Amino acid sequence: MPLARLDVRGQGDRLEEVLPRPGTVDSDVREAVASIIAEVRRDGDAALVALTARFDKVEIASIALTPDDLAAALARVPDQLREALEVAHRRIVAYHRRDTDEPHDFVTEGVRVTELVRPVRRAGCYAPGGRARYPSTVLMCAAPARVAGVEEVVLCVPPAPDGNLDDATLAAAAIAGVDEVYRVGGAQAIAAMAYGTESIRRVDVIVGPGNRYVAEAMRQVSGAVGIPAAFAGPSEVVVVAGPDTPTDLAAIDLAVQAEHGPDGLSWLVTWSQEKLDEVDAALDRIVAESPRRAELEATLSSGGYACLVEGPEEAIAVANVVAPEHLELLIDDARRLLPFVQAAGAVFLGPWSPASLGDYVAGPNHVLPTNRSARFASALSARDFRRHIHAVEADRAAIELLGPHVIALASTEGLAAHAASIEARR
């Protein structure tokens, strides 16, 4: 399955016009998600059981798992996997601890403003599941929540065909210190965490990646619950390759994100026609031999592109328009291009830095902005689980000094009580 060819050489400032743009959410997706949310709000747990049977084809009597379930799974997983989960968890926690906000005071002219940093009380984490498993996403969502000081961490995961959650996912939940685990997925899980059911108490923030239904559900419940600015949807990558980039590395890294499944993006951007042809052919071979061939073909058929540009700087210009979740600069002097990067969820520099390293053990989060939201949003971090509250304290001298300015502004706006509150203190 060849990548769709794009030749944007000489387009310059017209890149925004000529490059494909992500599609808007279909009305049928919006309406389906709205219907699911309404059903969960109306029927609670009964809706979750019914929707799980409808969408996941799994009949379950209850959705909640116990701490004993997590402990048992942790004991069952192979030692090598447990060690890998613990190493990844340790590195994620270490990274997010260094990202911690510190409270501070601002004092001037008799006014002290104290910055208070307070974690949310309950955080909801979503990890894809069902026929796949993503224990790494459990770590990426729960670890920064714990670093932020969140009191209760909730996890929702779609059940496997047998109605259970796999041991690797539960082991990750045990390592990350998740308090509550529920076997429910899709838009219904987002609705349950946002509004609450008999089993799932509503949370304050929901984080985690998902398909377009999950992303749309997060958009619809935003406001009723905190949602990070980036809705982490189907996976995306832009691979920038030069004439000397190893062909096999570029091809496999395009496949890495495409194998997550449909609706994502896999872009090759290069200034070498020969390299473009080589990578395209290598990717075809990978797809043909992959155990996830269906997922690869679904992504590449709608979101696979091979883009020819004039040079490295133009490649970054294309990437800035696409604003991908992952940007790989598979060239030896990649760092020199970093100052030109304006919009990407995460950047991976050089041939020895694949995005898969960031997916698991680099330390920063792999829950990244998608669908061009990297233009204004960032990777998930401990900040997404915190609120900032300012406390203002003044003395009489401050009122005497600054009060006339308050009165002048309040009077200008016609707010007499605002002005009177200052006059009463003079």
Say yes or no to pLDDT of 352 above 60: yes
pLDDT of 130 reads: 73
Residue-wise pLDDT tens digits, 228-265: 866 677 889 999 999 999 999 999 999 988 888 777 89
Q: What is the pLDDT of residues 115-151, one digit of tens each?
A: 888 999 999 999 998 777 899 999 999 999 999 999 9
Helical pair 293-303 and 273-289, crossing angle rounded to 10 deg: 150
More confident residue, 86 or 16: 86
Could you count the other beta carbons within 10 Å of the beta carbon of residue 115?
Answer: 14
Q: Is the pLDDT of residue 103 over 70?
A: no
Query: Which pLDDT does position 380 carry in this prediction?
Result: 93
Look at residue 228 in the predicted model and tell me its pLDDT: 83
The pLDDT of residue 57: 92
Please state, in angstroms and rounded to a whole number, the distance separating the CA atoms of residues 251 and 249.
5
The predicted structure's pLDDT at residue 308: 96
* Calpha distance 202→225 (Å, rounded): 9
Same fold, 27-229 and 233-375: yes
pLDDT above 80 for 106: yes
Average pLDDT for residues 273-291, to the nearest whole number? 95
Catalytic residue among 89, 96, 260, 326: 326
Task: Examine the residue annotation and report whether 418 is marked as an active-site residue of this protein.
Answer: no
Q: What is the pLDDT of residue 120?
A: 96
Average pLDDT over residues 317-329: 96
pLDDT in tens, 162-174: 999 999 999 999 9
The residue extents of the domains of the chain are 27-229, 233-375, 395-423
pLDDT of residue 24: 61
Q: What is the pLDDT of residue 172?
A: 97
What confidence tens digit (pLDDT) does each residue in 195-232 have? 999 999 999 999 999 888 998 899 999 999 999 866 67
pLDDT for res 109: 85
Burial of 388 (0-12, 13-18, 19+ CB in 10 A): exposed
* HEC string for the chain: CCCEEEECCCCHHHHHHHCCCCCCCCHHHHHHHHHHHHHHHHHCHHHHHHHHHHHHCCCCCCCEECHHHHHHHHHHCCHHHHHHHHHHHHHHHHHHHCCCCCCCEEEECCEEEEEEEEECCEEEEECCCCCCCCHHHHHHHHHHHHHHCCCEEEEECCCCCCCCCCHHHHHHHHHHCCCEEECCCHHHHHHHHHHCCCCCCCCCEEECCCCHHHHHHHHHHECCEECCCCCCCCCEEEEEECCCCCHHHHHHHHHHHHCCCCCCEEEEEECCHHHHHHHHHHHHHHHHHCCCHHHHHHHHHHHEEEEECCCHHHHHHHHHHHCCCEEEEECCCHHHHHHHCCCCCEEEECCCCCHHHHHHCCCCCCCCCCCCHHHCCCCCCHHHHEEEEEEEEECHHHHHHHHHHHHHHHHHCCCHHHHHHHHCCC
Among candidate residues 89, 325, 328, 366, the one labeled active-site is 325
pLDDT score, position 96: 80
Active site residue 326: yes
CATH class of residue range 233-375: alpha beta
pLDDT band at residue 25, thresholds of 50, 70 and 90? Answer: low
Task: Tell me the pLDDT band of 95, cut-offs 50, 70 and 90.
Answer: confident
Mean pLDDT value across the chain: 91
What's the pTM?
0.86
Q: Please give the share of the chain, as a percent, with pLDDT higher than 70.
A: 96
Identify the CATH homologous superfamily for domain 27-229. Answer: Nitrogenase molybdenum iron protein domain (3.40.50.1980)
pLDDT for the residue numbered 101: 58
Query: Does residue 10 register a pLDDT over 90?
Result: no
